[in-house]
Amino acid sequence: MTGSQEQHLQRLKQHFAQRVINQSRQLLELWQNLHSTQWSAQELTNMQEASQRLLRYAERFEQPEHVYIAQQLLDILSAIQANGNRLNSYFIESITRLLQQLLQTGLRDGEQIDQVFLPTMVRKPIYIALRSAEQAQHLAQQLQSFYFQVEVFANGAGFLQALARRHPAVIVLDINFAAKNYGLELARQLKQEHDTQIPIYFYSKTSVDAQTQLAAVRAGGEAFAVDVLDASSVLEKLETWVSTVQAEPYKALVVDDSKTQSAFTESVLNSAGVVTRAINDPTQALIELLDFDPDVVILDLYMPQCDGPELAKVIRFHDRFVGVPIIYLSAENDLDKQLNALSEGADDFLMKPVKPSHLVATVRNRAIRARYIKSRLLRDSLTGLFNHTHILQLLDDARNRAQKTQQPMCFVMIDIDHFKQVNDTYGHLVGDKVIKSLALFLKQRLRRTDSIGRYGGEEFAVILPNTDAESAQKVINDIRQRFSQIRFATDARDLMCTFSAGIFAYDGQADTVALTVLADQALYAAKHAGRNTVEIYVAPEL
């Protein structure tokens, strides 16, 4: 085969690879929509069509993992169709498991394949419309270093034409873009003509009065910066505005002595994508709680073995379940009795018969809140990354999986270079901005299946499953190079930072403590080599 033929074949493979990625993404988004919608015949059709396209593209691209997943999805969707298009917990968990496998079928070498793992907000552009063309280009360059697509506009006509083609993740808009208060007028026009909520980050070179700020709020503004406008501030807000959908379905445990009522509740919640387990014996509730680990518990108020308030008290005895929302579902219409029941540790009271939409909305809202609170306990408050304790737990889990599956896994330790000098010279607020920017950089570049934690201070820990040492070094090195190009605005001058990293490839024997020690030794080697580099751990010669 000639060189030109090989190049043509490679381009053809990349073309089909991108189709596989797009279909994988579409399937994931279709399934995740169940967190805000109800299952329907149209949802089934959409999933079937997307799975068939995935199968067709995967066969052409010769990707056996994607072929297997697509075939399995089609089998399950056919079973759902045969079940009268009714979901149950088995179907929900099976589809979720297959889509999680889909998330893990990427390759480390080749950006085309790796893009399937990038968060949703990476795929949408950021629109910038500033009065100063130089300032707009500078901001665009900084955001592009974070792997964002950015479009800069010089006039209102081009801005509106771009909006008609595609909606961005966020708009950075000067209130005086092109002319005084023209940015506000563009925002008002956007709000009137487009039935969507696009976050707008307003900017003004000079201070503005309260009336102008109020006008910005009414025009759809979510933030307002004066004088200073840098990439890290925009990205910090963007991360708050653009949320990614939970990959894991919500889970509800139903405890009701009536089999008819528990079956109805289970059916309603399943149709909304909530994995539901129903039991009719309340004395078995603790066993099921430990095994099922639900996001929400739904209790009947009156049951023969024990009533709802008694069971709620028992549940609250256990620290592990203190934060799990408890919802009563009962025919009791006496308000005093409802309030007394709520005082025993419950969070909501729904009366039978309950509207399915009311039940679903209550369970979803409580589950969302419970997961948020749980995530706050597991995450670092500054960066939103996993905290020290939890990242070590995840490392232990990843090590066990790698040992069982015989798949490669890498653990990476990252440390910002000369960080004490940054704090001493520019202050802790700037230091915090650097830490948050690196955290966002890692979240942007790494896969959804990778785990990222703040190990402590300016140190970060990254777990890369299904990744060998060479691929890990390539990915981390790319992040290192891009991060070193970021400029952080300070009162004195722009600041640029670098980091060093050490990688340990799991050898099938090291325990969790050894993994951290050896990755730390590789990090020390990177520091010793002059910093701003990535080193793989090499065992000393005997």
DSSP 114-158: HGGGS-HHHHS-EEEE-S-HHHHHHHHHHHHHTT--EEE-SSHHH
In angstroms, rounded to a whole number, what is the distance separating the alpha carbons of residues 269 and 447? 30
- Count the neighbouring beta carbons within 10 Å of the beta carbon of residue 60: 14
SS3 503: strand
On whether the pTM is more than 0.75, the answer is no
pLDDT at 263: 92
Closest to 523 measured CA to CA, from 413, 435, 418, 416: 413
Angle, vertex CA 289, rays to CA 295 and CA 389, nearest 5: 65
pLDDT at 73: 94
Q: Provide Rg for the chain, Cα atoms.
A: 26
Residue 320 near residue 350, CB atoms below 8 Å:
no
Which CATH architecture is the domain 120-241 placed in? 3-Layer(aba) Sandwich (3.40)
Angle, vertex CA 230, rays to CA 482 and CA 189, nearest 5: 115
Q: State which residues of the chain have pLDDT below 70.
A: 1-18, 103-123, 147, 194-196, 239-247, 542
Question: Which CATH code is given to the segment(s) 388-536?
Answer: 3.30.70.270
SS3 201: strand
Of 3.40.50.2300, 3.40.630.10, 3.30.565.10, 3.40.50.980, the CATH number of 251-376 is 3.40.50.2300
Looking only at the bridges linking them, the beta strands covering 200-204 and 409-416 are unpaired
φ and ψ of 287, to 5 deg: -60, -45
Crossing angle of the two packed helices 156-165 and 182-193, in degrees rounded to 10: 20
In angstroms, rounded to a whole number, what is the distance separating the alpha carbons of residues 481 and 365? 42
In angstroms, rounded to a whole number, what is the distance separating the alpha carbons of residues 269 and 274? 5
């709000």: which residue's tokens? Answer: 191
In angstroms, rounded to a whole number, what is the distance separating the alpha carbons of residues 95 and 79? 12
